[in-house]
Structure 1
């Protein structure tokens, strides 16, 4: 399947980042807090106990909490007295902070033609799109489809499981759930293990689409580099 990376080329200082992608196959993997969605990490927690919550909270308290009382007694007290948040929140906060500091994000789209994407990320036509080919097996293994919802609400069990060792699932849930406002992006996210770093990308580049407002000198430079790297180029259809 094809995924697409939009680049705004209006500012000359962004050109090197674009050429780095097509020449060296290196892409910036950003820290989540630097992304353009101000609602990243802005979600609600559901502390309603499930059938698993007491056992998960018991194990979490046993691993991280005070043992003034047996862990199962403290967990039972929390569940019965609506105090799960009180005991779980310190671990929830640690997991969120760990996600902020240890995960890198690179964003792609499933569309190369959407006018909103060209307007927002493609320099209003003065930009370009890099087309990558990924296998169906890579989707949801290395690349993750973003889920769009009216509100982001996560259950405490997800965080308790993460506290006990399964952080990958909760990190993916946090970073791949966005509000409906962002649905036009049709976003696919690559989640790396280090933020703020250039990563060598193993997905083949199969094409570059040049925006209709890109200057002739820059267009020719893009075409030249693409030819040298056996990458097909064409111009955005303005009709």
Structure 2
């Protein structure tokens, strides 16, 4: 999913620095431009008093609610729009088209390093009334977050906003591949456009020009330039197949069917370098197999004796980002493999 951040002319130098450093700023709620942010009614306190009158201990309910309320001052929020083609957004947030708009891959922002402490992605709801937090909401975290931090009045619905919540505000780092495009405002200067293009060389980024639509009040975009990464290690995409991925926020894990007949350490290390440069977007672990027939065994536990032997013979190498210049051959040909009577024990 793509998200768009509109930027103004007056902050160009600061925004360019953030882009080059692969950073964004998650603001605190009190810095947002809507004075009604995090505005809601709540019935939870009243419910706690009712429980107290009935002789029921309400301390846990009150404690949980207080923790949620206290969190508001700590949260970081990064707001994006689902569209780069919005006349009002260009007027309000991009210096009446003298600025630009950044296109992000939202999933890759969420993949960022652990210190970012990403919490939740929330589509903003637009309502004609302030949301009400009811007593049973305290047991539904997503509903609480939605009512407290992602509900705005109908007058804002043109923004088509999605919010990324972090557990603290401040600068957040992301992988460079998360930035996928730049849209130039209709009145942006050619000089600033060229600065962006030149500053973002050796990155896969498309540049678009916003202009007035023909015989209408609508705006439109067209592709005007494209930067490409300079790939040092070329990858033969016919030499492998990705059998499975198991990615986390911090690490990508790939199970690969390696089709090349050359399974020497040097050959596999060359393949891994090309694979990580061309495909992976963060710290990476690669498990390499020379036979697709073991695909049904990936993630299976426990393995039977016969399955273990088959898996061990086909599992020819693994790679770990911790030791980037090392390949570990036949990791499953271990003591158990020997005890099972494996014929190719390498340990």
Aligned pair count?
202
1:76 corresponds to? 54
| Higher RCO (CA-CA < 8 Å; seq separation 6+) | 1
Aligned-pair RMSD on alpha carbons?
A: 3.3
1:206 corresponds to? 180
Structure 1 residue 20 and structure 2 residue 17: aligned? Answer: yes
Matches within 5 A, 1:113-192: 113-135=85-107, 142-158=120-136, 160-161=138-139, 170-192=144-166
SS in 2 for 1:206: strand
Whose strand fraction is larger, Structure 1's or Structure 2's? Answer: 2
Structure 2 gap segments, 5+ residues each: 111-118, 214-347
Output one character per residue of 1:68-119: Cα deviation in whole Å (capped at 9) or x when no partner.
xxx96x25269xxxxx9xxx788756632x2332100000000101101111
Whose helix fraction is larger, Structure 1's or Structure 2's? Answer: 1
TM-score by length of 1: 0.72
Q: Deviation above 6 Å: which 4+ runs of structure 1? A: 88-91
1:29 corresponds to? 26
Matches within 5 A, 1:211-226: 211-226=185-200
SS in 2 for 1:131: strand
SS in 2 for 1:129: strand
The structure with the larger Rg is 2
Structure 1 residue 5 and structure 2 residue 2: aligned? Answer: no
Q: What is the CA distance between 1:156 and its match in structure 2?
A: 3.0
Structure 1 Cα separation of the partners of residues 44 and 22 of structure 2: 44
TM-score by length of 2: 0.51
Structure 1 Cα separation of the partners of residues 107 and 62 of structure 2: 39
Output one character per residue of 1:180-207: Cα deviation in whole Å (capped at 9) or x when no partner.
1110000000101112x11013471111
Q: Is the 8 A contact 1:208 1:234 kept in 2?
A: yes
SS in 1 for 2:126: strand
Structure 2 Cα separation of the partners of residues 44 and 222 of structure 1: 45
Structure 2 Cα separation of the partners of residues 47 and 214 of structure 1: 50
